[in-house]
């Protein structure tokens, strides 16, 4: 079986190696979701969680633990809610906001992708 080369607007499937369109999110041959290109703003983890969304939750609603609830860490979210009047969760969530923004997508997926 002769494998054809890919064109400029095509790429190889990350799972089966078939030639597919570069913008394809799912391989039509094997059905595997293709990972987003590195540095893409909308890349998500396997469970659908987004690093950018977690960062925005941490910045705007972090003192109430919204980012913890979003990431599936309900116990910590409740703890943030319980202590929100002390402004300590607001300070911690500001630090977590910066960490989310500086974290690579691979590190985010490894840490929060399986929850």
* Confidence band for 14, pLDDT divided at 50, 70 and 90: confident
pLDDT at 26: 86
Tokens of 53: 């969304």
User: Comparing C-alpha atoms, which of 1, 28, 6 is closest to residue 15?
Assistant: 28
The model's pLDDT over 35-79, given as tens digits with 9 standing for 90+, comes to 766 556 656 776 788 999 999 999 999 999 999 999 999 999 999
CA distances from 14 to 19, 28, 106 (A): 10, 12, 16
* Reported pTM: 0.66
Q: Quick one: CA torsion of 53, 55, 57, 58, rounded to 10 degrees? A: 160
Sequence-distant (≥ 6) Cβ neighbours of residue 28 within 8 angstroms: 18, 20
Report DSSP state, residue 86: G
Query: What is the rounded average pLDDT of the residues 91-99?
Result: 97
Domain assignments of the chain as residue spans, ordered by start: 8-38, 51-113
């Amino acid at each position: 079986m002769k494998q054809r080369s890919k064109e400029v607007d095509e790429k190889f499937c990350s799972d089966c190696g078939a030639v597919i369109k570069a913008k394809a999110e799912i391989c039509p041959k094997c059905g595997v979701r293709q990972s987003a290109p590195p540095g893409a703003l909308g890349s998500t983890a396997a469970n659908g969680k987004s690093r950018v969304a977690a960062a925005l939750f941490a910045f705007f609603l972090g003192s109430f633990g919204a980012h913890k609830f979003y990431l599936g860490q309900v116990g910590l979210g409740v703890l943030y809610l319980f202590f929100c009047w002390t402004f300590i969760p607001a300070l911690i969530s500001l630090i977590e906001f910066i960490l989310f923004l500086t974290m690579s997508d691979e590190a985010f997926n490894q840490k929060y992708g399986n929850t």
